[in-house]
Every structure is written in C-alpha cells, then in structure tokens.
Amino acid sequence: MPLTGFSLTKVAAATTIAFGGLIATAASPAVAAGRSDDTVSVSGHGSVKGTPDTLIADMDAHAKRAAASDALSAASDVATNVINALEANGIDASDIQTSGVSVGPAYGRHGKVTGYRADESITARMHPLDTAGKALDAASAAGGNSLDINDTSLTISNKSKFEAQARSKAFANAKAAAEQYAQLAGRQLGRVEHITATSHSSGVEHFPIASGGSGAAAAPSTSIPVNPGKQTISTSVRVVWALQ
C-alpha cells in the first residue's frame, strides 16, 4: 500500500527512510535473503545513568641514583612505602598491582649521562569511594617527591545491571518505531529476523590530582575530595522485523 513519502517495494535495492533520528529500511528479497520478502529495519537507542563506585589511580614511584641497581632499589623502596600506605588506608592488596618497572640513563646538558632513573608503576583500584580520598592522600605523603600520580579515573565496577536496562530501552525504542512504520504501511510486525547491538558507556571520568612530583613539596595531610557524579551507559540496537 503506497503512502506519501513511504513505500515498501520488492526491488533490487533497499529503500531507506529517516524519521525522528531512526532509520527504517524496507529490504528487498536480495537484501533479506533467507528471510521474509518484506522487512522493516529500525535502529533504537537506550541509555541509563549510574553512579561510579570505583576510583582507579595510576602512580609512578621513581628514583635517580648514580648506579642503575641503586636507582631500582630506591624506586622499589618508594613503591613499597606507597603500597603499605594504601593498604593501611582501606585498599585491599588484591586491588593494587605493579604494572611496570623500568630503568634507564638520565641525561644532563650536552647529552651527558648524569646517573640512572628507575620507575615502578602502580595501579590501584579504590572502592568504596569514601576510602579513596584518604588513601590517595596517604599514598602521596608516603611517596613524597618521589611519587607522581599520573592519572585518576572513576568507573562503575559492575555495569551489567545498567547495560541490561539500556538494552531494554533500546529494543523498546526500536520496536515502537517499527510498529509505527508497519501501521503506516498498512501492515503488521512479524517475527524478528535479525538483531545487531552495540553497548558502550560514556567512558571513565578522568580528573587531575595534584601530586608531589620532582622538586615539589609533599601533599598536605588532608583527604582528597572525590565526587563521583554520574556515568552514562548506552546501547544501540538494530532490529529487522518481517512484515505481515
């Protein structure tokens, strides 16, 4: 049943119509091979917001000495102090990881080797968040000028509940549009022929944390404030229905 601006036809190419930010496609038998001759393909989107419950901190314990072995030993001592401080302030040992160790020459003016610098990278997952500020402050104080807090980010440790809600919203969004297109064409929705889905989130939220760093004074002994805010978890789905 042809309508103004919309028709379902059995031709060699698919007819695509944009409506309200959704894409509807009436596929030909060639496009929908092995499925019903007439189909409607609709994309839907669903999103929910959740509160982050975990802070991830990437830190670098470093030291510079005349010999490489001494630099490694000194950096290891700094890392040990930082890890002990984290554990003493509520961070479980299983949530603290040594993520890298390196050592190399340090150069001065005119490319002259002035010693060796060693770095030991530490990644800590801090949860619940009410322990994170105190733990970060303790780590900074323990590492002093020999610790850099390179990056901190907030994330949701278990997103499965939010992803399920987003999928339900996305599918309902697509189905509502498909039903409207079918009604406009004087048809009814049949069975689902195909589903393609993509889940994604707004990503972790990064925010700067001042650390001691080389040549800087140690951080004051106060708890660093951590405001979790909200994180968006989204799902996009493309569903193909047969038309009856």
In a structure prediction context, what are the per-residue pLDDT tens digits for the chain, which is 244 residues long?
A: 444 343 333 333 333 333 333 444 433 333 334 445 699 999 999 999 999 999 999 999 999 999 999 999 999 999 999 999 999 999 999 999 999 999 999 998 888 999 999 999 999 999 988 889 999 999 999 999 999 999 999 999 888 999 999 999 999 999 999 999 999 999 999 999 999 988 776 655 555 554 444 333 344 446 777 888 889 999 999 999 999 9
Question: What sign does the CA torsion over 79, 85, 91, 92 have?
Answer: positive
Question: What sign does the CA torsion over 174, 175, 176, 180 have?
Answer: positive
pLDDT of residue 225: 78
pLDDT of residue 188: 94
pLDDT of residue 26: 39
Amino acid at 181: Y
H or E stretch including 81? helix 68-88
pLDDT of residue 11: 32
Amino acid at 104: G
The answer to whether 37 and 100 are in contact (CB under 8 A) is no
pLDDT of residue 206: 57
pLDDT tens digits along 103-112: 999 998 888 9
